[in-house]
Amino acid sequence: NAGVTQTPKFQVLKTGQSMTLQCAQDMNHNSMYWYRQDPGMGLRLIYYSASEGTTDKGEVPNGYNVSRLNKREFSLRLESAAPSQTSVYFCASSEGVAASYEQYFGPGTRLTVT
C-alpha cells in the first residue's frame, strides 16, 4: 500500500500563478483533509471532505478551492498564488471525520510563492 501520496513534492510559483496540488489515498478512507504547516505553528486545516461528494471549509480556507474527485482523490487549487501561501501542504485521510479515527498523512508539498 502506498498510503497517501501527494504531487508535486516541491513547487515554486510566481505571484498570481495558479496550480493544483494532487492527493490520493489507497486505504478506502471516507474522509480527506488539506492542511498547511508554517514555521513555529502547528498544522492548520484548510478544507476537508467528510465523504465523497462533500467538502467543507476549515480554519484557513481563503485563497483555496478543493475538489473531491472521487473517493480516492482530493485536490487543492490555488487560483492566484500569493507570497502568504508559501508553506508546506499536507494531505491526510481517515476512515471518518471523528477524532477517534487516526489520520494518515502524505509526505507534503513544499510550495514557495515569489
Name the burial class of residue 19, with classes exposed (0-12), middle (13-18) and buried (19+) by CB atoms within 10 angstroms of its CB: middle
Shortest distance, CB of residue 80 to other proteins, whole angstroms?
26
* Residue appearing with cell numbers 501520496: 5
Task: Tell me which H or E stretch contains 23.
Answer: strand 19-25
Q: Residue 90 — φ and ψ, nearest 5°?
A: -120, 140
- Any contact of residue 8 with other proteins (CB under 8 A)? no
Shortest distance, CB of residue 113 to other proteins, whole angstroms?
19
- Nearer of residues 27 and 88 to other proteins, judged by Cβ: 88
Residues that bind other proteins (CB under 8 A): 31, 40-45, 48, 50, 56, 58-59, 88, 90, 92, 97-100, 102-103, 105-108
